[in-house]
């Protein structure tokens, strides 16, 4: 499937796009490069709960295809590096994406959560349960996209 980019109106109303453009003055950027931005989740489920987003407005992972796998892989690499830089450990980490209808912001964002052993009952068994109806791990997402070839329009 061809990726549908956000309209100008959708990008203007997107809270994550406002973080990228610094219209949102409250969010503290923890990492930034040419293509990605990272910051703390506004409702952290663990001591270390970060979001990694592409600066380019992309819809959720369900709407991507196999050409976007490098984006997912870059997001994971950046997120794990940020986690370690913030004093977290990769030994007890979960990386992944909420799946519609559990996506709160329609801008691709990777959750990096550690320590997962500290997650509460609801977070552990519902909202961030690996490969469930609410949450897909980054590994699952890459495998999903491998099976979804790009179709030229």
- The position carrying tokens 């179709």 is 151
Cα–Cα distances in angstroms (integers) from residue 30 to residues 9, 13, 19, 36, 39, in the given order: 27, 23, 12, 11, 5
Based on the residue annotation, tell me whether 109 is a catalytic residue of this protein.
yes
Counting every residue, how long is the chain? 153
Beta bridge partners of 38: 31, 52
Name the active-site residue from 48, 109, 111, 150.
109
Residues acting as catalytic residues: 109
């Amino acid at each position: 499937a061809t990726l549908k980019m956000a309209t100008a109106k959708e990008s203007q109303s997107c809270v994550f796009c406002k973080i990228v453009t610094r219209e949102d003055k409250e969010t503290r950027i923890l990492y930034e490069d040419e293509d990605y931005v990272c910051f703390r989740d506004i409702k952290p489920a663990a001591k270390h709960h970060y979001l990694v987003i592409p600066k380019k407005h992309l819809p959720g992972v369900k709407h991507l295809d196999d050409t976007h796998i490098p984006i997912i892989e870059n997001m994971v690499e950046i997120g794990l590096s940020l986690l370690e830089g913030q004093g977290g450990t990769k030994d007890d980490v979960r990386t992944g994406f909420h799946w519609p209808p559990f996506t709160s912001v329609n801008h691709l964002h990777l959750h990096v959560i550690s320590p997962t052993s500290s997650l509460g009952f609801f977070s552990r068994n519902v909202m961030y349960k690996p490969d469930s109806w609410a949450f897909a791990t980054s590994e699952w997402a890459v495998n999903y996209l491998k099976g979804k070839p790009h179709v030229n329009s």
